[in-house]
Structure 1
């Protein structure tokens, strides 16, 4: 990611973060379960609570995008925990699709081609790190 993309992700995220986290989370999880319904049983807990956790984690990571080295260990540990929930590398594509769709819904006209490209770069970077860490965890198990 370049600095312009980081700035655009942060700027657009501030708009989404100002929305009701339960609404944003509901959009995301409904879309995710439509795309890959087989992951629904992985979410044993309360979806509204899961929505808050998701948005909190996204906010934390996005706030530190310009200091990725500070958070990559945490991103890898998160990925390793996800292995225990049954998350597979193939799920990351669907999660990315659901996230981009949710952002598009939340941003409306602010969802430009440039914003989409910045978010794709961001998600690709983070998902790549998580997939890499997941493969390491699976190999170590």
Structure 2
């Protein structure tokens, strides 16, 4: 990622943070709409899960310039997701739901450049998680 992409992701996430609860609702509603089979991987009460999502996104975004901080957390998350039954094929709809959620939350501030920066961020995050999951298998 370029320094400009890091700045775009961090600046746009700062605009999402005040609506974190709504963003988490939008994300999971969209995910379960486009990938209904993954619903069974989650608890019935999504309150804690939604908080975890926003916390992990916050950690990843804040540390985009410090891979030594974020990579171990993402590797651990990837191994946990694998233990819960997550598969490589689940990462694409998660990414789609994330980009859709950001588009809804940011409105006109979700420019093509911001979209591309987030897509790159998610590709990196998913790549680290999938690699760790594969190593745990």
TM-score interval for Structure 1 and Structure 2 normalised by the shorter chain: over 0.9
TM-score in terms of structure 2 length: 0.96
1:114-125 aligned within 5 A:
114-125=113-124
Q: Distance in 2 between matches of 1:71 and 1:46?
A: 27
Counterpart position of 1:107: 106
Aligned residue in 1 for 2:70: 71
1:96 match: 95
**1:51-89 deviation per Cα after TM superposition (whole angstroms, max 9, x unaligned):** 111001111111111111222111101100001110001
Q: Aligned partners of 2:87 and 2:96: how far apart in 1?
A: 15
Question: Are 2:41 and 1:42 equivalent residues in the alignment?
Answer: yes
Residue aligning to 1:55: 54
Q: Which runs of 5+ in 2 are unaligned?
A: none
- 1: distance between equivalents of 2:116 and 2:97? 15
SS at match of 1:16: helix
Unpaired runs of at least 5, structure 1:
none
- TM-score, normalised by the number of residues in structure 1: 0.94
Q: Is the 8 A contact 1:22 1:48 kept in 2?
A: no
Specify the alignment match of 1:3 in structure 2.
Answer: 3
Question: Does the 8 Å CA contact 1:104/1:111 hold for their aligned counterparts?
Answer: yes
- Write the distance in 1 (CA, Å) between the matches of 2:56 and 2:112: 25
Aligned to 1:83: 82
